[in-house]
Amino acid sequence: MGTWQRLFLFGGMSLRGSGCAPWWLRGIRALGFRRQLSGAESENLKQRRTQIMSRGLPKQKPIEGVKQVIVVASGKGGVGKSTTAVNLALALAANDSIGSLLDQKSKAIGLLDADVYGPSVPKMMNLKGNPELSQNNQMRPLLNYGIACMSMGFLVEETAPVVWRGLMVMSAIDKLLRQVDWGNLDYLVVDMPPGTGDVQLSVSQNIPISGAVIVSTPQDIALMDAYKGAEMFRKVHVPVLGLIQNMSVFQCPKCKHKTHIFGADGAKRLAQTLKLDVLGDIPLHLSIREASDSGQPVVFSQPESEEAKAYLRIAAEVVRRLPPPSE
């Protein structure tokens, strides 16, 4: 062993000819003592940590008029989360197709775009303009395709960047949650920004969430972040309803050959690791992209297509896993 290796491992102390134990061995003994101590008082320590962590956290308060909140999230951007959120909201409202699964003939659906920096809902839902104010000085959502929508994109110029620090973003999220007159909704679908940061924590800690849906492509890089997203919701006690595998397969429109561009069954393997279910697969299809860009989502514009039916099946799976709404 060379001189630098001895210095790095043992701090220059000789293990032989010394009457006292080296520093690293004393550290191990001390660590063992701490472990014994924590084992004897583990329950008290856990309770103490919980009390400390809960200090200063806001108390969850339901959104007035909203029965259940479903958040659509992803660990990273570019996996089709907003497209999924928009089509999921429309699928939940498509009661003529899945009315028997929803147990009612009519459902009122809202869509909240919580992505302050990159709002996509206005374009995908073909909505423009500023929200009107109610008599209670609350913003009224804009309506299209039967869905009540609210987004930061309605409050700023379409091409203007939102250059805000964390506190301003938190204030904006609070206003989108508390100062919107949603009326009476059965489901509010929240399109979360990518990642596991301040917005996700703020939403999770401020309102009761019935369930979270994680969107990912089958690609390993996306699955790594999807895992973090699912674990984040578990840490804040939000039930994860399952995973949606987006862009699962591409089928050539001419020869009908199927290609797994981003890999095959990645979300299924992740779901097994997390002990969750895969709610459904969404193919990589040109019509989904074109419909979203034109402001006519595929569930609305092509309800009989296989792509739209995939979203309808996912909506049914989401409803099956939701807890009964609190009255």
Cβ–Cβ < 8 Å for 252, 260:
no
pLDDT at position 121 is: 94
* Rounded Cα–Cα distance for residues 289 and 292 (Å): 5
Average pLDDT taken over every residue of the chain = 81
Q: In this predicted structure, which of 202-211, 255-264, 291-300 has the lowest mean pLDDT? A: 255-264
Q: What is the pLDDT of residues 31-60, one digit of tens each?
A: 554 555 456 566 777 666 655 554 555 678
pLDDT at position 32 is: 52
Q: What is the pLDDT of residues 261-318, one digit of tens each?
A: 776 877 788 888 888 899 999 988 889 999 999 999 999 999 999 999 999 999 999 9
Q: Domains of the chain, with CATH numbers?
A: 66-321 (3.40.50.300)
Structure tokens given for 118: 């990159």
* Rounded Cα–Cα distance for residues 205 and 26 (Å): 42
Structure tokens given for 235: 């840490």
Going by C-beta distance under 8 Å and a sequence separation of 6 or more, which residues neighbour residue 197?
Answer: none
Q: What percentage of the chain carries pLDDT values higher than 70? A: 79
Q: What percentage of the chain carries pLDDT values higher than 90? A: 40
Structure tokens given for 36: 């014994």
Does the pTM of the predicted model rise above 0.85?
Answer: no
Q: Return the SS3 of 207.
A: coil
